[in-house]
Structure 1
Amino acid sequence: LVTAPTAPLPDATHHAGQRNSYDHRLVVGRKLYDRAIGTAMSHSIAKLAPGAGAHLHPLDIDVLGVAVGADVRLIGAKASAILPVVSNPGVARGVVWAPFNQAGGSIEDLIDASAAVTDVKIEVA
């Protein structure tokens, strides 16, 4: 066996910074069923994908003055996406959670891989 010398990795520290009171911190995550080719091509599970949505705390929905199910525009630094509002008390206030790779929305366009965090403005569509 040959062992190659390894160099130490540089420190990778990112500071998220404070968000202002108008922005929401964007958090994205996976759902079991999405637009993956295996799911999309299977007639038995294709309908299990929940679809896109902007999950917000119920009190944040009240502040926005929008009804559950209504469309909102999430505006990021480089793109925007229109998603329906989903009430989710498990989401912290000031945060919008959205599943990615779902039909009906393009939350992936808002993510900036070079940024430590992604903050979005929410506008009633």
Structure 2
Amino acid sequence: MTAEFVRDAAMTAAVLGFFAMGWFGWAQEDPPKRRKKWLVSGSVLATLVLVAAGLLSWTIWNTGTALDRDTSVLFGQVDGLLSVRPPVSDRVTATLGYYADELAELGGLQHGR
């Protein structure tokens, strides 16, 4: 992956590190003994990724991002709709996936398969 905006890549890494930390922690509830050290290592690594990416994104917060004013508003509206009710979000996600090419053309983006 190449990111045009480092801040976006750093925030993505921070979010993924946060969730990985949770997943590895959850998996440590009652694992086989031979897997415990790998799960602890995963938790530690995820925590390091979260902290490093969070600090990086904090230090470069005023740099560019892919979310300009127009896309931020649209992103917020779609995200809000997807968070309202799962049945609604399932239909919206399916519709957006079905019409991805048309939406990409509408937004002036190239969407390849």
Please classify the TM superposition score into its range, dividing by the shorter chain length. under 0.3
- Return the TM-score normalized by structure 2: 0.23
- Which structure shows the bigger proportion of residues in strand conformation? 1
- Which structure shows the bigger proportion of residues in helix conformation? 2
Structure with the bigger RCO (C-alpha within 8 Å, sep 6+) is 1
